[in-house]
Amino acid sequence: MQKKQYLRKGLIILGWLLVWQIASWLVHNPVYFAGPAESAAELLRQAGQAVFWQAVFGSYLRIMLGFLLAFAAAYLLAFAAYRFPLAEEILEPFVSFLRSVPVAAVVVVFLIWSGSAYLVFYISFMVVFPNLYGNLLMGLKKTDERMLEMARAFRMPFWRQWRCIYRSAYLPYLKAGLSFSTGMCFKSGVAAEIIALPDRAIGTRLYMDKIYLNTAGVFAWMAVIVFVSFLTEKVIGRIAGAGAVPKVRDGSAAVWEQTDRDLEMPKIRKSYAEKKVLDLPERKVSAGECMCILGSSGSGKTTLLHILAGLLADDDGRTGTWKAGVCFQENRLWEEADARVNLWMAGCAAEDIEKIYELLPEELCKKEIKTLSGGEKRRVALARAVLFPSEILLLDEPFAGLDEENRKRAAKWILKYRKMRPILIATHDEEDILLLQAKSFRLSD
């Protein structure tokens, strides 16, 4: 399939070259309109001269320095604007100015201020920065808040949140911005060189060929610009997307020390807009004990688990302080990664990750999450909670979407790897009590 695509693109390019050649034959005036043969011959002639390569490398260096500075500034400022709304408001007028101001006007101003030496550098920055900044900020705003909440529950370090959650959100927007910005950067940079005429520059050489009516030379330089821009775009795109999904690394989590700590819950009350959602007296779940919370939808089961996980404060401002392995009501998985990477991302030790193969076949564990069924995804989310080194387990409807056989298998697996941790399970199905050999209490509506 890929070979057919390359062949089709090659034939399309050859077709356009043929149209170009036919047009040059019809015009029959190489000074006015040179054909591809004349342009290729002129390109080969100039490529044999040192001044040709000095111009190419001189322009490339100036343009890419501006591009890289714009990329770094856009990256840092976009994140600042994402975290601090005031920063976004402050930057908005500057970014809007760069987007709308004519490049030619800026060229004239910079020629007055600093001459031609750094003009291309400034223009490259001005063209690239607003586009990359806008795309990065848009991507960061698309970050899934539920995934960030999952990261807080598993106490994921910030560098891993950035690597696995933020980056996966902004990467498609960044790639689109890079694709557009690279071409615009080279076109605007060379255009600025034609006005400023710096030494050792493509724009200067192109302008001289225009003065001497060397149309073939002009077309040859245009081909150089297109080729260099295209090649740079592909390289930058590969670098930006490299390692989008990390590999599981050994020693990625602390040693799991088994604890015999009881889960002692104080009186917990929670209300929303003066409507009482939860009013639970003091309770205790002993080490190694499993407790099922029964109740209909809206009775406060999920709210209780979120408070105990430290994700929500009760009416007295208290949150849980336990290190908890949490299985959320939604799976909250990284769809582009496989099951093993999802477990590693949450902090599961590399030596424990293979235990998921008892729940899910190994070949499925090596596939992207987005290709799995709902029940298969649920088992990955459950394994992440159980294999995470923690003091307690908080499982919200852990068997949702599982058939009878897999429910039994998952229950046995939980009991096998609970390691004496207190387990609190929110469920509406009383059969879970028997499957997990659990005690239970019911929350009233």
pLDDT tens series, the chain, 445 aa: 667 787 888 888 888 888 888 888 888 777 778 888 888 899 999 999 999 999 999 999 999 999 999 999 999 999 999 999 999 999 999 999 888 888 777 777 877 776 666 788 888 898 999 999 999 999 999 999 999 999 999 999 999 999 899 999 999 999 999 988 998 899 888 988 888 888 888 999 999 988 888 888 899 999 999 999 999 988 988 888 776 777 776 544 445 555 677 888 888 888 887 788 888 888 888 888 999 999 888 788 899 999 999 999 988 888 888 899 999 999 999 999 999 999 999 999 888 899 999 999 999 999 999 999 999 999 999 999 999 999 999 999 999 989 999 999 999 999 999 888 999 999 988 888 888 889 988 887 5
Order of strands, edge to edge, in the sheet holding 392-396? Answer: 324-327, 392-396, 423-426, 290-294, 439-442
Structural domains of the chain ordered from first start = 9-241 (1.10.3720.10), 263-442 (3.40.50.300)
Rounded distance, CA 159 to CA 178, Å?
23
